[in-house]
A and B are shown apart, each in its own frame.
Chain A
Amino acid sequence: MKIIVCVKQVPDTAATMAVENGNISWGDAPLIINPWDEFAVEAALNLVADQGGEVTALCLGKEEETEAIKHALAMGADAAVLVSDPALKGSDNVAASKVLAAAITKIGEVDLVLFGQQSVDTDTGLLPVQVARLLKWPSLTLVSKFEEVTPAENSLQVVRSMEEGNQIIKSLMPAVVSVTKDYGEPRYPSFMGIRKASKAEYPVWNLADLGIDLPSSSISWPEVNEPVEQEIVTEIIDGDTAEEKAKILVEKLIAEKVL
């Protein structure tokens, strides 16, 4: 099987975010692979371990943004592609998905494209379905389990989650799948994996390499702000016993009219 897994590089989730002169800053916090994407890499590696084939990590980002790719390679991905073009700065989701779709087409003969559930920086969760729509492939979102994968029949069956429960869905391949945390813990990169990844070479494609023009963007972000911190007055509830504290809290909650 040929599997592509899309990985993004983001600031550490523990970073303190700030806006300086209109630019978003995360101080000296490290950059990491989008945590959701580790589940997708894990799934891709397991599928290939079962079925044979290869995993290619695909990242769209700045040329110096190598951490997500390195992490995917260190986990065990066979190859990687970075798509980078200064013209893409400020692209919205639809534009980014057009670029990713073009890269997927250029890589070619793909059975599955795996995504994380969403980016922890922009929190949108749109690229998987948008890429699928552009490629005219079925999109299977929020998948926690691959029940059956039959490359010979170009089909797979997965468990997908929704608010009300799970859906067991069978689909033709090629398909796009976004993988959730319920899939299971991603592996830690091995020492050997990290060494291999640090030496790995991979192509960097720009828009000309993909043979596409700069896709237009509809969405712009004229303004980013740090949220106005609400002044929270914390009232510590005192009492000699647990019963007494509970009793006072009940009274406070009644007064606060939130019951």
Chain B
Amino acid sequence: MTKKILTYIDHFHGKVQSSSWEALGLAAKIAADSGGEAAALILGEGVNDLAEQAFHYGADQVFLADHAILKDFRPEPLAELIAAAAGDYQPDVMIFPTTTRGRTLAGMAAVDLESGVMVDVIDLDWKEDKITATRSIYGGKLLAKLTCSTSPEIITIRTRAFDKPEPDSGRSGSITNLEVSLDPADQATTVMDIQEKASGVSLTDASVIVTGGRGTAINPALTPPDDLDEEGADVWKAEQGFDLIQNLADVLGAAVGASRAAVDAGYIEYDHQVGQTGKVVSPDLYIACGISGAIQHLAGMRSSKVIVAINKDPDAPIFNFARFGLVGDMHEILPPLTAGLKAYLEG
């Protein structure tokens, strides 16, 4: 059966989340196998030049709406356009990246198009007529296979679960401009302001992650200033621990993660939390420092390719999941480790 696949390209003010290209790469593969077609849907303001990138990453066709009303992310107007585009194009499959925006819009599309969505998919089989999607449930403790009996079959794919294609600058295709007839006065929401984060390496995109747990604050070698209470002294120590983690992350171009214990104790913002109630990540290399390896933490990082654990307790459960284990004090091990890796990477 010929499959028409429509991929939603998620971006922030024109900056594309790289999982969008992973989604498009997957779409192009399904299209190639089924003699079908991969189309990309690009909605925003000032996004015209994303079309060309979409062709390079595998799109045969681009549907584009470039309009002031789409400047800031608001799900409702985007959902209208997505439903309209799907109504015209009649895709068999729709793919969204599982970003905060992609998840929202896929959920809305399922309602608007009277279908269903298989969310945060980590593996996909399209050899039969129907797609079978694999996703993890119960914090990764079980794997479920899902199918969708209605059309379009809508899926969102987990970041880094599918390969990002090599862009081919020789590819191009046709662009269809979508009509935008949304009335600003009809919109129930107004974006008042945006507070952008300092752009560090994002956890979900990172191929290397260095994480700190409660052990970041456990360093008898440090004497905190007298004027701090116990909690303050703890945070003060943890800041130095996380400095060591940041230094290693800088050398590796890595993102910084944290356990919930570290977040709850106020050592670092929640944004960095890895685990069942934090972010789910699967980097090539995950270096866990001063983390015990609680089941809820493992839920967020078990699928990492290579796990390194640095913990002073030889019985810490994290060692059961690690490829390499270093029993010792993270505060002593991280500086020479950082120096050694720096020397290698710069040499």
Which positions in A face B, CB cutoff 8 Å? 11, 13-17, 19, 24, 35-36, 92-94, 97, 120-126, 129-130, 133-134, 137-142, 157, 161-172, 175, 180-182, 217-227, 232-237, 242-243, 245-247, 249-250, 252-254, 256, 258-259
Contact = CB atoms under 8 A, between A and B. Distances in A.
B196 interface: yes
Nearest to B133: A219
B270 interface: yes
Give the 5 A-B residue pairs with the shortest CB-CB distance, closest first. A218-B116, A246-B336, A242-B332, A250-B340, A246-B337
Nearest to B207: A258
Secondary structure type dominating chain A contacts? mixed
A145 to B, nearest CB: 11
A131 to B, nearest CB: 9
A200 to B, nearest CB: 28
Contact of B344 (A120, A170, A259): A259
A16 B329 CA distance: 31
Interface stretch (B45-53, B117-125, B173-181): B117-125
Contact of A170 (B108, B117, B149, B189): B189
A150 B191 CA distance: 17
Contact of B118 (A13, A133, A219, A235): A219
B314 to A, nearest CB: 8
A253 B110 CA distance: 44
Contacts of A36: 277
Given A164-B196, A219-B116, A222-B147, A13 B276 contact: yes
A26 B339 CA distance: 46
Contacts of B99: 163
B194 A130 contact: no
Given A126-B119, A157-B192, A218 B150 contact: yes
Interface in B65-88: 72-76, 79
Contacts of B240: none
